[in-house]
A and B are shown apart, each in its own frame.
Chain A
């Protein structure tokens, strides 16, 4: 599903150049659950952004589901991302002005050829599944952290994406809510969704099938997790 070869990402200022990713090779097969770990500043989030088509590499190649995507323009990256990739963030990133239902429905509104009726059906289904139906009309500020992250996951999966990218999904949650979220991700993976997750937590990484360790922009190890 994801194939990255000799990929680098450098950030330049007028005086210095910082290499966030240094000539890495990385592959994720369909149905995998990969945890990316490493110290702060090692390039985890940069890699996730490039995988999620939010950023372009400086050099190297990246194939997503067979498409060459490393040099796509913003417009094309958006088009390819729609409905294929779902995002889950550490700080949930819900829109405060939209209620739970509207937040979850958001990605569907940007997909073509989906009727309002179909959008409503899919949203209702996912709210039921995430046990959020009773909170559909609540606004993010009225929810607990765990509930907010469940809304964020619901939003990420409502388009039935093939790939979910999670950036420290339990970083802002207590252990009970964190476990709940990880179980959800695991459940989604079991149903066939590919998941790439950045985390600092060994506990969370234990839910993955493989752990990739990054250090100073290089992949230093890729270890299968034995459940």
Chain B
């Protein structure tokens, strides 16, 4: 108890230093907790199911013997695949399920709400995934039409205290009966539906195709029996499907299973998220802990005498170390309070950061703060405790401080490297974000809006004319999808029906090319005729080995077989971005919507400024003019920006981490420089007496810090170069003059550090040297 009181007095005696220590530890701790939680979120992904290691996902992979092309494995497979595996391997497979997913609007009495995730699944859904069923008999119920199971959370939200069993709700305007309740899986699960709709509800209405002849595909899963040899099973599954779907025209289909937990962790974005959270977390925890150690060691000059007195009075090294560790523990407890307050407010006011559910992540792993506490205690507390305990009594009363500078410089080195690393990374991620948003997409997105009109009824022609004639509408066209959402694939076949390659495929009406602002490099746009015509991109031409200049010479229009149809290619557009810059350039073909089809599909409009207001105006005017018609529009730049949500998330995380590290490092630097100035006050005075001016003294101190800062900046830039390289690998474009950004960021940090030193040393440099010499 006496020791604790002594420690509290020590901390109170230097309130400013204690406050800085607590604040920097607290902020560092809060961010470390968040990054650790992110790490745990990824590591535990899909581990929330019962016996999750036995759950495997079914993959489908196409390869082409004619071209040697092998497609990436698809996470979706043909509808009956799961059932075929289940029926053919009864000893190895305990349960199997095919699912489909979509969003859902629920109506019940006055309740009307969109619930985010709805799975359409067959009767073995819960058995396969090991999701606990709280009530109901899913094997029986989910085999029936118009049956729904609700998660406990959504049942509570929809029904409150009312018993939902047997009640009828509207799910996407279909009347379905609640037959069961299940425990909703944690958020870090691939399948975490709020409602599970029985498969027959869809199949009996022919809303989805369920067979081996292409068309709709389904995510499918199996639960293995314990002890199953997966390698052997995969060979047998491959053999089975070789018989069910034999190779045809050089196209081969492989079916195999992989652990479900590998799926999420195998995504490039997950790998990056994992790497970034680990790297930033390590950098931050090192900087936070070592900064505390640095500030503690810096105080050694003041405390050496007290330690000497303790030692003279009989305290041994362990006693001194114990005292210091107790002080570290007390400081960390206060810092934990700061971290808890920060995290509480983050949780209270920030539900998500760029679609990442911060609130859930922080509430799920509350104990992680203790882990961070322990790491900081060991890293930040032990080195100074050891140093303090080893001070020889014979030296504590004179000039001990000079022996510590190597320690301090080593700690500064790590801190400077850390701040340079995250700052460079921040610079690169920000520049890359700006690059992907501002780079030429291959079409002009600036005045584009797109959307749908529903419940059109007999108003189709009038509505089209109405839209087309609005003064702020420059042009309008129809399309199956827009580039930012991507397109589905279709095989391009040769004369012998062999697969040449797979192309992205779209259906669009005449005027789509000009409305989108695509660059037509040869030929013309499609026309609304009954003859199948297509506009393709340059990559398509390259894969067809067609020359853009000669293919259309003399009015020629080459023909190509896409899917099962012969299509006349009438024009070529410049390659454009499909999806986002994380996707490679892909071949693209846009086939005309036949003249007899006047559905709106997706409307694409080029409108005048102000785009947002005109978009809202159109969506509001249509229902007023055409009763019952619902219209909604989105502006293309926002949708494109949404594609880079994860990029923005990383940028935000790195920005916050950088600011915290910068704060911590500057606090450490201020402590170091103040200590150095105090330690070298006599030297500074002597130099001044011998002719050194203010600038000489500032240079002297800056040079000392630069001696540490320059090599550490080089290390930080090199580490950022490596980590930034990992990040940029995901993109198919990167900023021009990339090395320049690393160098500029590194130089920027050096300038910041040296400016800080210069500002701190200016006062000493202008002090009267007589005072320092006198005090000696």
> Which chain A residues have a beta carbon within 8 Å of chain B's beta carbons?
49, 52, 54-55, 74-75, 78-79, 81-83, 87, 89, 91, 93-97, 106-107, 110-111, 155, 159
Q: Are A54 and B769 in contact (CB under 8 A)?
A: yes
Q: Are A82 and B691 in contact (CB under 8 A)?
A: yes
Q: Report the bound CA distance from A68 to B242 in whole Å.
A: 104
Given A55-B768, A97-B683, A106-B687, is A89 in contact with B773 using a C-beta cutoff of 8 Å?
Answer: yes
CB 8 Å contact bits of B653-697 with A (1 = contact, 0 = none):
000000000000000000000000000001101111111111010
Q: Are A107 and B768 in contact (CB under 8 A)?
A: no
In addition to A87-B689, A110-B693, 18 A-B residue pairs with Cβ atoms within 8 Å of each other are A52-B689, A55-B768, A74-B766, A74-B768, A75-B693, A78-B688, A78-B691, A78-B693, A81-B691, A83-B691, A87-B690, A93-B776, A95-B683, A96-B402, A106-B687, A110-B690, A110-B691, A110-B692
Chain B residue at minimal CB-CB distance from A53: B689
> Which chain B residues have a beta carbon within 8 Å of chain A's beta carbons?
402, 682-683, 685-694, 696, 766, 768-770, 773, 776
Residues of chain A with a CB closer than 8 A to B686's CB: 93-95, 106
Chain A residue at minimal CB-CB distance from B690: A107
Given A54-B770, A93-B776, is A75 in contact with B694 using a C-beta cutoff of 8 Å?
Answer: yes
Given A54-B769, A83-B691, A89-B773, is A110 in contact with B696 using a C-beta cutoff of 8 Å?
Answer: yes
Residue from the set A49, A78, A89, A94 with the largest chain B CB neighbour count within 10 Å: A78
Residues of chain B with a CB closer than 8 A to A49's CB: 770
Please tell me which one of the listed residues A54, A87, A155 contacts residue B768 in the complex, with CB atoms under 8 A apart. A54
Q: How far is the CB of B707 from chain A (nearest CB, A)?
A: 13
Q: Are A111 and B773 in contact (CB under 8 A)?
A: no
Residues of chain B with a CB closer than 8 A to A81's CB: 691
Please tell me which one of the listed residues B402, B685, B688, B770 contacts residue A55 in the complex, with CB atoms under 8 A apart. B770
Residues of chain A with a CB closer than 8 A to B690's CB: 87, 106-107, 110, 155
Q: Report the bound CA distance from A120 to B762 in whole Å.
A: 30
Q: How far is the CB of A94 from chain B (nearest CB, A)?
A: 8
Residue from the set B683, B692, B768, B773 with the largest chain A CB neighbour count within 10 Å: B773
Q: How far is the CB of A10 from chain B (nearest CB, A)?
A: 15
Q: How far is the CB of B92 from chain A (nearest CB, A)?
A: 75
Q: Report the bound CA distance from A98 to B716 in whole Å.
A: 32
Q: Report the bound CA distance from A55 to B688 in whole Å.
A: 12
Given A55-B770, A95-B683, A97-B683, is A74 in contact with B689 using a C-beta cutoff of 8 Å?
Answer: no
Residues of chain B with a CB closer than 8 A to A55's CB: 768, 770
Residues of chain B with a CB closer than 8 A to A97's CB: 683
Q: Are B691 and A93 in contact (CB under 8 A)?
A: no
Across the A-B interface, give the 10 residue pairs with the lowest CB-CB distance, nearest first: A110-B691, A82-B691, A107-B690, A78-B693, A93-B686, A95-B683, A54-B770, A107-B691, A106-B690, A87-B689
Q: Report the bound CA distance from A54 to B768 in whole Å.
A: 7
Q: Are B687 and A79 in contact (CB under 8 A)?
A: no
Residues of chain B with a CB closer than 8 A to A110's CB: 687, 690-693, 696
Q: Are B691 and A111 in contact (CB under 8 A)?
A: yes
Chain A residue at minimal CB-CB distance from B682: A93
Residues of chain B with a CB closer than 8 A to A111's CB: 691
Residues of chain A with a CB closer than 8 A to B694's CB: 74-75, 78
Chain B residue at minimal CB-CB distance from A95: B683
Q: Report the bound CA distance from A123 to B515 in whole Å.
A: 82
Residues of chain B with a CB closer than 8 A to A52's CB: 689
Chain A residue at minimal CB-CB distance from B688: A78
Residues of chain B with a CB closer than 8 A to A54's CB: 689, 768-770
Residue from the set B685, B689, B766 with the largest chain A CB neighbour count within 10 Å: B689
Given A54-B769, A55-B770, A110-B696, is A95 in contact with B689 using a C-beta cutoff of 8 Å?
Answer: no
Residues of chain B with a CB closer than 8 A to A79's CB: 693
Residues of chain B with a CB closer than 8 A to A95's CB: 683, 686-687
Q: Report the bound CA distance from A107 to B688 in whole Å.
A: 9
13 contacts between A and B (CB under 8 A): A52-B689, A54-B689, A54-B768, A75-B694, A82-B691, A87-B689, A89-B773, A93-B682, A97-B683, A107-B690, A107-B691, A110-B692, A110-B696
Residues of chain A with a CB closer than 8 A to B685's CB: 93
Q: How far is the CB of A7 from chain B (nearest CB, A)?
A: 17
Residues of chain B with a CB closer than 8 A to A89's CB: 773
Q: How far is the CB of B259 from chain A (nearest CB, A)?
A: 62
Residues of chain A with a CB closer than 8 A to B682's CB: 93
Chain B residue at minimal CB-CB distance from A94: B686
Chain A residue at minimal CB-CB distance from B405: A97
Q: Report the bound CA distance from A10 to B346 in whole Å.
A: 58
Residues of chain A with a CB closer than 8 A to B689's CB: 52, 54, 87, 93
Q: How far is the CB of B697 from chain A (nearest CB, A)?
A: 10
Q: Report the bound CA distance from A96 to B682 in whole Å.
A: 10
Q: How far is the CB of A162 from chain B (nearest CB, A)?
A: 14
Q: Report the bound CA distance from A209 to B592 in whole Å.
A: 113
Q: Report the bound CA distance from A94 to B776 in whole Å.
A: 12
Q: How far is the CB of A21 from chain B (nearest CB, A)?
A: 14
Q: Report the bound CA distance from A96 to B686 in whole Å.
A: 11
Please tell me which one of the listed residues B402, B692, B696, B773 contacts residue A93 in the complex, with CB atoms under 8 A apart. B773
Q: How far is the CB of B104 from chain A (nearest CB, A)?
A: 75
Chain A residue at minimal CB-CB distance from B692: A110
Residues of chain A with a CB closer than 8 A to B688's CB: 78
Residues of chain A with a CB closer than 8 A to B776's CB: 91, 93
Q: How far is the CB of A184 from chain B (nearest CB, A)?
A: 18
Residue from the set B402, B687, B691, B693 with the largest chain A CB neighbour count within 10 Å: B691
Q: How far is the CB of B425 from chain A (nearest CB, A)?
A: 37
Chain A residue at minimal CB-CB distance from B765: A74
Q: How far is the CB of B539 from chain A (nearest CB, A)?
A: 65
